[in-house]
C-alpha cells in the first residue's frame, strides 16, 4: 500500500471523526447555535478522500472522480456557510453559489484535458482555493467576537494558498497519467499530507471556537437573572471584583449605587405577582437604558438592584441615580402602578473590598428609606470636603 493511499484512509477517518465530534456536541449541548452544520460540512468533505480511493480501485472511476472533486469543493463551501450560521448570520449565498458554479464550469471545461498541464491544474485548483478564501473572509468578519477566528483565518488562508501552489507542484512532480494513477504518484503524497495537516489544524481550531463559545454562553446564562435580563449576584460579583481589586489609579473612581424598590411587597399583594414581575422588567429596562455601557447593572435580590460605575465621580453617580429615579416615577405604562425606589451611593476607598463598598452603599439606602423613601443618600466615608461638593449635596439630599 502506497503512502498516498494510507494518507487518503487517514484523512477520511479524521474527517469522519470531526463530523462525529460535532454531531455529539450538537446532540449533548442542544444549544441554539447550529453546531450540527459543522458536522455536515465535514461529512461532505469526507466523501472526497473516500472517492479518491474508489477512483484508484474501481473499474468505473468517472462517478468517483466527480464526487471526489465536488465533495471537497462543497465541503469547503459548507464550512463557509457553517461559520456564518454558527454566528447566527445569513450565509453568503451569492458568493457560495457563484464559486460552486465556477467550479462546475471549470471542471467541465478541463474534463478531458491534459493532466500535469499548468493551465489544467490551475483551473482544477482555483475554485477550491476560492472556497477556502471565502472561509477566511467569514472568519475575519467574526474575529471581533472571538480572537480564535484570527487563527482560523490564517489556517484557512494557508490551505487556500496551498491549493494555489499545487498546480506548480503537480507539473513538477507529476500527478499520474490518469486519475486512477493519482494515488500512486509522489504528488498525491504531497497533496494529501499538506491537506491533512492544514485542514486538521483548522478543524481543531473550529472545535476550540465551538467549545469556547459554549463555555462563554454557559457562563453568561449562569450569570444572568432571567426575569430582568441583568446580571445576577454571582455575575455581578465575578465581574466587579476585577474593577474593585485593580491597582490602577482610576480604580478608586468606582462608585456603587444600591437601589431598593419602595413598598414592592404591597405591589405584589395588591396587584399580583405577574404585575410585580412586570415592574421588575420595566425598572430593569430603565436601568439598562440609563446606565453607561461600561457600568455593571445587576439584580441582587427580589426588589434589590446594584449599579457599579467605573471611572465615575460620586457627583456623576448621584446625577445618574436622580435621572433613573425621575424616569422611574414618570414611567408611561398605564397597566402598571406607580412605583419608586430608594438609593444609596458610595465611592470606593483605596484598599477597600467589594463587600465593604456594597455594605456602605446598602447602609446609605437604609438611611434613604428612613428619610422618607423615593430619594437617594450619599455615603461620605473617605470623601474629602472638596470632592465634587458631596458634603453640600448630602445636606440637600434629592427626593421626590
Catalytic residues: 303
Q: Crossing angle of helices 62-86/93-109, nearest 10°?
A: 170
Q: Which residues pair with 261 in a beta bridge?
A: 341
Helix (H, G, I), strand (E, B) or coil at 114: coil
Give per-residue burial for 365-378: e unless 16+ CB within 10 Å, then b: bebbbeeebbbbbb
The owner of cell 494555489 is 164
Residue 189 · residue 4 · CB < 8 Å: yes
The Cα-based distances of 326 to 284, 316, 322 in angstroms read 14, 15, 6
Dist. CA 303–CA 123, nearest whole Å: 67
Instruction: Supply 155's cell numbers.
Output: 489556517
DSSP sequence for 223-279: TB-TTTSSB-HHHHHHHHHHHHT--SGGGGSEEEEEEEETTHHHHHHHH-HHHHHHH
Dist. CA 327–CA 145, nearest whole Å: 33
Dist. CA 90–CA 258, nearest whole Å: 42
Residue 173 · residue 189 · CB < 8 Å: no
Dist. CA 271–CA 250, nearest whole Å: 45
Dist. CA 135–CA 86, nearest whole Å: 13
Amino acid at each position: 500500500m502506497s503512502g498516498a493511499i494510507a494518507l487518503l484512509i487517514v484523512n477520511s477517518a479524521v474527517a469522519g471523526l470531526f463530523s462525529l465530534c460535532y454531531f455529539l456536541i450538537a446532540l449533548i449541548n442542544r444549544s441554539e447555535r447550529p453546531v450540527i452544520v459543522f458536522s455536515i460540512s465535514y461529512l461532505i468533505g469526507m466523501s472526497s478522500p473516500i472517492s479518491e480511493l474508489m477512483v484508484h480501485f474501481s473499474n468505473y472511476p468517472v462517478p468517483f472522480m466527480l464526487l471526489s472533486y465536488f465533495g471537497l469543493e462543497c465541503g469547503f463551501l459548507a464550512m463557509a456557510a457553517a461559520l456564518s450560521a454558527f454566528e447566527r448570520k445569513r450565509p453568503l449565498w451569492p458568493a457560495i453559489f457563484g464559486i460552486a458554479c465556477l467550479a462546475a464550469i471549470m471542471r467541465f471545461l478541463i474534463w478531458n484535458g491534459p493532466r500535469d498541464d499548468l493551465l489544467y491544474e490551475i483551473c482544477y485548483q482555483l475554485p477550491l482555493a476560492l472556497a477556502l478564501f471565502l472561509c477566511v473572509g467569514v472568519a475575519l468578519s467574526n474575529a471581533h467576537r472571538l480572537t480564535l477566528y484570527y487563527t482560523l483565518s490564517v489556517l484557512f488562508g494557508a490551505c487556500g494558498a496551498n491549493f494555489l501552489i499545487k498546480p506548480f507542484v503537480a507539473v513538477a512532480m507529476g500527478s499520474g497519467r490518469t486519475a486512477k494513477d493519482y494515488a500512486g504518484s509522489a504528488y498525491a503524497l504531497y497533496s494529501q499530507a499538506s491537506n491533512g495537516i492544514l485542514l486538521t489544524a483548522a478543524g481543531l481550531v473550529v472545535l476550540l471556537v465551538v467549545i469556547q463559545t459554549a463555555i462563554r454562553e454557559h457562563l453568561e446564562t449562569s450569570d444572568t437573572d432571567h426575569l430582568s435580563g441583568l446580571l445576577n449576584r454571582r455575575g455581578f460579583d465575578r465581574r466587579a471584583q476585577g474593577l474593585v481589586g485593580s491597582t490602577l489609579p482610576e480604580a478608586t473612581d468606582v462608585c456603587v449605587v444600591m437601589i431598593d424598590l419602595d413598598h414592592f411587597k404591597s405591589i405584589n399583594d395588591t396587584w399580583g405577582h405577574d404585575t410585580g414581575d412586570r415592574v421588575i422588567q420595566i425598572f430593569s429596562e430603565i436601568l439598562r437604558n440609563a446606565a453607561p455601557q461600561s457600568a455593571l447593572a445587576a439584580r441582587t435580590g427580589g426588589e434589590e438592584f446594584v449599579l457599579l460605575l467605573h471611572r465615575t465621580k460620586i457627583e456623576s453617580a448621584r446625577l445618574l441615580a436622580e435621572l433613573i429615579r425621575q424616569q422611574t416615577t414618570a414611567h408611561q405604562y398605564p397597566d402598571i402602578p406607580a412605583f419608586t425606589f430608594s438609593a444609596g451611593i458610595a465611592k470606593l476607598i483605596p484598599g477597600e473590598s467589594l463587600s465593604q463598598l456594597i455594605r456602605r452603599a446598602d447602609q446609605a439606602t437604609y438611611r434613604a428609606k428612613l428619610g422618607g423613601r423615593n430619594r437617594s443618600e450619599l455615603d461620605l466615608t473617605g470623601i474629602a470636603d472638596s470632592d465634587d461638593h458631596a458634603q453640600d449635596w448630602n445636606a440637600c439630599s434629592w427626593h421626590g
